[in-house]
Structure formats: structure tokens, C-alpha cells
Amino acid sequence: MEAAGIELVLATSKHNVRYLLGDYSLFFAHFDAVGVDRFLPAVGYPRGDSGRAFAIASELETWQHEVSPPWTSTVVDGCQTSAETVREAGRLIDSLGLAAATTGVEKAFFPAAALDELQRAFPEARFVEASGLLEELRTIKRPDELELLRDASERIVESMVAAVEGARPGTTTSEIAERLRSEEVSRGLDFEYCLITAGSSLNRAPSQAPWLEGGILSLDSGGNLNGYIGDLCRMAVLGEPEPLHVQLLGEVQAIQDAARSAIRAGVRGAEIYEHALGERNNCRHGKHASFVAHGIGLVTHEAPRLTDKGPIRYPASHAERPLEPGMVLSVETDLKVPGVGFVKLEDTIAVTDDGYEAYGDGARDWITVDV
Amino acid sequence: MEAAGIELVLATSKHNVRYLLGDYSLFFAHFDAVGVDRFLPAVGYPRGDSGRAFAIASELETWQHEVSPPWTSTVVDGCQTSAETVREAGRLIDSLGLAAATTGVEKAFFPAAALDELQRAFPEARFVEASGLLEELRTIKRPDELELLRDASERIVESMVAAVEGARPGTTTSEIAERLRSEEVSRGLDFEYCLITAGSSLNRAPSQAPWLEGGILSLDSGGNLNGYIGDLCRMAVLGEPEPLHVQLLGEVQAIQDAARSAIRAGVRGAEIYEHALGERNNCRHGKHASFVAHGIGLVTHEAPRLTDKGPIRYPASHAERPLEPGMVLSVETDLKVPGVGFVKLEDTIAVTDDGYEAYGDGARDWITVDV
């Protein structure tokens, strides 16, 4: 905060409020709309003065906070809307003598109306972007965070195995996705999404498309445990895989394993890509392959950033910086082979001093389902 | 829109994007964070010109839109972040010749950074609040929306009955809440929350508190079906209810039934309160009673607004206006009796021409669980 000249951080995103408090509203875990406004939680953290940090939530969190009190000395549980949150935050900022402070906010997670109101209330304050700073805090995971990511990953893979088990020729991808959702929830996960393909289709949305005998199936799903997201992809086949299918998954495994072999503390992030892309060149179907690796935690794509390519176009902050123990990576390789199908593995890898630990690392070969 | 002088609506909230398109991203159904930015869907609707409406989503929605194409003539599925959405929206606004238009936005659901960027791109445009206008559109539900609300309500009540069935003396409120979550999900619902009390406690957060023999239990839960929220509360007892418990739930039922008896098209919204509060005065424990009634649909508290009292403090737009067929109300009465416990019913009531229809109206008496 000092380097950024920030005197107060006012966090309002779900992930950073959860990170700073260690907990989040159970009531507003999914939705946030209330009338024509929205619930807006907030955590205020004055630089170098955690004793005067504050938390703002709604009346509904009163009970949750009674059961499990937040660590901040000030907790205000009476703000159901962003208008109320901003009024209360203003009162607290004033009482801290920070009316003219440089205040770090998350501008993608601060409603326009609420930030306008705060700026009007404190015309001398300067509101600057603090999302990068907050993300940096989250880059290295604590042991309890690693535990949650491990558990989430394991439960997702178990759920995938269970979800395909009951399938029969003709079961639709919607039905399997729905079954997966139930399996994850019954294991205590908060289900997020399922991308799924069946047969030779490259369309990954759940649909009425049937899974047929001999057809391959990709299951890519995210689910969280206390906000910490597991995100993995596994492959199944209804019957036995054809030799070409075995070959393709073998190539995906080879690329994934090449990437993994590079991972340990001290290695530059870019080396992971160098290993993976080197192996891709050895693969018969390498021209169909996509590879991506990125940090994961409370957000599906977060620091460390190993590349500025791929779906999330951010600066590659860790391409030339060394990996550190406690970083967690999602490593993904897919082959989109026209006429054959979509073959993918996605693994969760925690960086350790002397290598890595893979979370939820089962079922990386073909999951075969008896016809 | 004409009355409000709005030439273009640019909706960005989950509920209004879903309302205008009839669908929402499966991938971003719960979370929206992506890196240090967020996914921001958008629907643009130029006044009187639905043929030029547009929808903006991320690359991940490409597959979903292939399976089920949106009705708008323009669909852009390449925006993973709010920065990209705003750039694309700007391009489309420009191409529609609306660079200087009065544009209605939802300022509580428009990230500050994104609205700043849009205002910079279009210095002559005027961005005004359109949340009220969009909410008004949603006030009267279509038959397909009513069907979803009916289904969601029924499945929640079924889930509640199933969730308490397996309980034994000592089962905790956390365990029951978790069981309810699974039961709702296995019925196709997207679980939102569970507020729960056991015994004489008035704390409604799931916790390690045990449900004991003879103890009462309140279960208040929301879950949605395609975004449409069912929100009901039912009462259970482990064993048989005591006479006082029977008396208390009887009073809650009497207040609820008084409110319901007022409901039909043409009646002023305030009459519902008048009936309920009149009955409360007849109740022995009336001084412990709270009553609230509000619209429900894609948002848990939405129009019609029958009062400006209660947890959501908005103007009571429908206190003096007549109810109309297709409005859906959530009607809630609770008794918080110190030393005895929390006794509540919450019902979902659709207004019809000649009265009302109650959705998920089972189990309004004590659900008894064998010890």
C-alpha cells in the first residue's frame, strides 16, 4: 500500500471481501440484487493499522457474525443496499480522519452510482485502482487455502466419475451436467459451471445432444469450497476408447506432463509454457492443441500470470518472475480435432519448494463407462 | 422509455439481461470475476427499434448461443471483461448513431470503471438511471414466468419436507441447511440460501446448534429456476408440537390468511397490510409479530412495493395503486417469541382476476418428524 501511495483500501468484490475477512455472506453467496439496488459488502483497511479496519454487511449477516465474528474491530451489519453501504463507509472514513485520503478501490467491483456518491461526499479524496494490489496479496496461498483448493479439486474429480457412471447410450449432455451439479453439491461444493462435449462435437454447452455408444465425453467443471475454486477437466468414453482416442489423450497427457515437469519454486513462469509448447511440437496432432496455464484461487483466472495470450488478456506478470511455493496453477491442454472431438485435461498444481503437488489428480486416463 | 426521455437502454444486471434475453450465461451464473476485472453482459435496446437491439457476452457463451440463439439481431460473444464489453458496446452505440443519446443504464450494476470509460468515449451522451423503468417492465409476469415461479416454489417446499425427514435429535442446523441445499439442487433448482432456527434460538444462521427432541425448527429458503426465485418458509418439530407451538403457528396462519384474503386484481396494495395488521391486533402474541409483503420474481424484493417499511426501504409504489393479474407477491409473517423461538410462514401468491393462486402451498402446518 505504501508503494502505491494508498492510505486506505476499501474492498468491495466478493473475492477480496472474502479474502480479507476469511468469510462471506451466506445469504448473498450467489445473487446480490435487492430491489433496484444491490447488496455491497465492504472491508476498509487503513494502511498499517489493522486495529481500525472495518467491515460492512447487511442485517442478514448479523446472525452469521454472531456465530462466527469477523476479526475487524468495527462491524456494521445494517446495510442492505449499496447506497446504505456507501453512506456507512463514508461515516467510518470520516471518523478515521481519512476524508482526504488516497483510497484504493476495485473499480470493476464498485457500482458507478456508489463511487459517484463517495466522491461527492469526499471531494478531496482520490479514488485509485487497488485491484492489482489486492490480487498480489492473494498470489501465495496459505496452508488453509491450499487445503480448500485440494479438497475442492478432489471432490470435483470424484463427482465427475460418479456423474458419468449412471449414463446410458442416449443420455444427453444436459442430463450429465445436471447430474454432475448434484454430485458436486452432495459433496459440499458450491457448483459453478460445467462445460461438456459428447462425440465429435466441439460445442461445449450442455444441450439435448446424446452421448452415444463409443462416443467420447469431456467434462470441464468448476466448483468452490468456501469460495476457493477447483476447476478440472477429465475424459470419459461410453464403452472402450478407440486407438485414435487413446493416442489423442496420450498427447494431451504428454503436453500436461511436460508443463508439470517444469514446475517448482524458483523457475520462471514462462518455462512452463516453453516445456509445454516444446512437447506440443513432438505431438502428431500438435497443430490442434491449445495450452494455457494460469493462477487459480478465489478467482478462476488470477495471479500468477504466466502469459498474456489465452482467453484472459492481462500482462504476464510472472512470465519472467520466479514461481514461489504456495502459488496454485490451473494447467490446461486441449485438442480440438474436427470430425473426432474435443480431448482435454485440466489439472490443479500447487508449487512447492522442490516441485509441485497435483490436487485431485485421479482419473486422468479414459474413464470407461460400461454400456 | 419515451416518457423517461431515454433513447437507448443498456442493461447490465444479471436479472435484467436475463429478462430481456430470456436466458443468461451458464458459465457466469454465480461468479463474475475474471482476473482483476469481471464479466459484464449487456443488452442494448434502442427505443422503438427492437430490430436493432444487441447482446454482448463472452466467448464462453458462443456454444450456449449456438444451442439456443438469442433473439437480438446482433450478438457479440467475445467480451470476457467489462473493459471489453464497454468497448464493444461503444462500437455498437456508434454504429446505431446514438453517440449523443440519452442512455438508460443501471448505475448499481454498472462498474464505475466501465461507466467512466463509456462517458469518456461519448462525451455528449447522457447516462441516466433506468433501473426503475426496467423493474416496472418485470412487474407483471407472463404465463411462462408464472410457471417457473410456481415450479420453484413447489420444489422448495418438497425439498424442505425431505430435508427434515432424515433429522435425528442432535442433527445441527448446518447439517439440515446442507441437506436442504442438496435436495433443492437434486430437484433442478439453483439453491440461493437457507435461514434456519432451532429450538428457542432467534439466530437464523446455519451453525453447530443442534435440533433437539421437542424443538421447533424454521426453514426459510430461496432457490431459483432459470433465475426465477422461489422463497418460502415452513415450520417443523422433532416429535410433536406443544400446545403453545400450535397456538403460535395458528396465529401466523391467521395473519397470513388475512393478508391473502385481500388479494385480487383491482385491490390497492395497502389493503393487504391493512388486513394483516388488523388480524395481528386480534392475536394473543401479536406484539411479537412482523408482517411484510413484497413483489418477487427475478429479484427477491421487487415491484410491486406495497409499503416503504420493512427491510427494503423503497417508495411504496403500489400501496395506493391497484394490484394486477400476473403480479407475484411474497407474503411473510413471523413471531419472535423470547424463550420460545422463531415461528414463521412465507408464502408465494400470484394475483389473479378474481383472487389469487398460492404456489408451493403445502406443509403450512407443523411438519412433524418422528423421533
pLDDT tens digits, one per residue of A255-301: 999 999 999 999 999 999 999 999 999 999 999 999 999 999 999 99
Chain B's closest residue to A295, CA to CA, is B35
**Region A194-219 average pLDDT:** 98
Q: Which residues of B touch A109 (CB under 8 A)?
A: 33, 38, 111
Chain A's closest residue to B86, CA to CA, is A108
- Closest CA of chain B from A371, distance in Å: 25
pLDDT category, A3, cuts 50, 70, 90?
Answer: confident
**Region A320-346 average pLDDT:** 97
CB A53 within 8 A of CB A45: yes
Q: Which residues of A touch B33 (CB under 8 A)?
A: 13-15, 109, 298-300
CA distance A120 to A105: 15
**Region A39-53 average pLDDT:** 97
Q: Which residues of A touch B67 (CB under 8 A)?
A: 203, 205, 207
For residue A25, CA distances in Å to A42, A55, A63, B159 come to 11, 12, 10, 22
* Number of inter-chain CB pairs under 8 A, A vs B: 175
Q: Which of B190, B191, B302 sits opposite A35 (nearest CB)?
A: B302
CB B259 within 8 A of CB B280: no
C-alpha torsion sign, points B238, B241, B244, B248: positive
Q: DSSP class of residue A305?
A: E
Q: Residue A342's pLDDT is what?
A: 98
Q: Residue A4's pLDDT is what?
A: 83
Average pLDDT, chain A: 96
CB A141 within 8 A of CB A149: yes
Q: Per-residue pLDDT for A116 more than 90?
A: yes
pLDDT category, A316, cuts 50, 70, 90?
Answer: confident
Q: Residue B268's pLDDT is what?
A: 95
CB contact under 8 A, B185 and A195: no
CA distance A210 to A172: 4
CB contact under 8 A, B110 and A112: yes
Q: Residue B166's pLDDT is what?
A: 86
Per the structure block, which three cell numbers stand in for A206?
Answer: 450442455
Percent of chain A topping pLDDT 70:
99
For residue B6, CA distances in Å to A228, B101, B123, B127, B303 come to 42, 8, 17, 9, 21
CB contact under 8 A, A35 and B301: yes
- Closest CA of chain A from B323, distance in Å: 18
Q: Residue B2's pLDDT is what?
A: 81
| Residue A54 CB partners (closer than 8 Å, separation 6+) | A43, A44, A72, A73, A74, A75, A76, A92
**Region A176-181 average pLDDT:** 98
Lookup result for grid cell 485435461: A345
CB contact under 8 A, A14 and B33: yes
Q: Which of A116, A203, A314 sits opposite B63 (nearest CB)?
A: A203
Q: How many CB atoms lie within 10 A of CB A62?
A: 15
pLDDT category, A40, cuts 50, 70, 90?
Answer: very high
Per-run averaged pLDDT (10 residues), chain B, 371 residues: 90 98 97 95 96 97 98 97 97 97 98 97 97 95 98 98 96 98 98 98 98 98 98 98 98 98 96 97 97 96 87 79 97 97 98 97 98 91
Q: How many CB atoms lie within 10 A of CB A315?
A: 10
CB contact under 8 A, B26 and A207: no
Q: Which residues of A touch B178 (CB under 8 A)?
A: 188
What residue type is A193 in one-letter code? Y
Q: Residue A272's pLDDT is what?
A: 97
Q: Per-residue pLDDT for A310 more than 90?
A: no
CA distance B71 to B53: 9
Within chain A, how many helices (H) and strands (E) appear?
A: 9, 17
Q: Per-residue pLDDT for A309 more than 90?
A: no
CB contact under 8 A, A302 and B35: yes
**Region A96-120 average pLDDT:** 97
| Residue A164 CB partners (closer than 8 Å, separation 6+) | A176, A217, A219, A236, A367, A369
Q: Which residues of B touch A182 (CB under 8 A)?
A: 182, 185-186
For residue B109, CA distances in Å to A80, A107, B112 come to 15, 12, 9
CA distance B359 to B170: 32
**Region A82-96 average pLDDT:** 97
Which pairing describes strands A341-352 and A328-337: parallel, antiparallel, or unpaired? Answer: antiparallel
CB contact under 8 A, B107 and A129: no
Q: A36, A67, A208, A221: which to substitute to probe chain B, counting the most B Cβ within 10 Å?
A: A36
Q: Which residues of A touch B193 (CB under 8 A)?
A: 26-29
Q: Which residues of B touch A15 (CB under 8 A)?
A: 33
Q: Per-residue pLDDT for A2 more than 90?
A: no
Q: Residue A233's pLDDT is what?
A: 98
What is the full DSSP assignment across B16-70?
A: HHHHHHS---STTSS--EETTEE---EEEEETT-GGG-EEE--TTHHHHHHHS--
Q: Which residues of B touch A60 (CB under 8 A)?
A: 195
Q: A9, A18, A23, A31: which to substitute to probe chain B, counting the most B Cβ within 10 Å?
A: A31
Q: Which helix (H) or strand (E) holds A103?
A: strand A102-105
Tens-digit pLDDT profile for residues B214-260? 999 999 999 999 999 999 999 999 999 999 999 999 999 999 999 99
Q: Which residues of B touch A132 (CB under 8 A)?
A: 36
CB B344 within 8 A of CB B231: no
Tens-digit pLDDT profile for residues A9-31? 999 999 999 999 999 999 999 99
Chain B's closest residue to A222, CA to CA, is B27
Q: Per-residue pLDDT for A204 more than 80?
A: yes
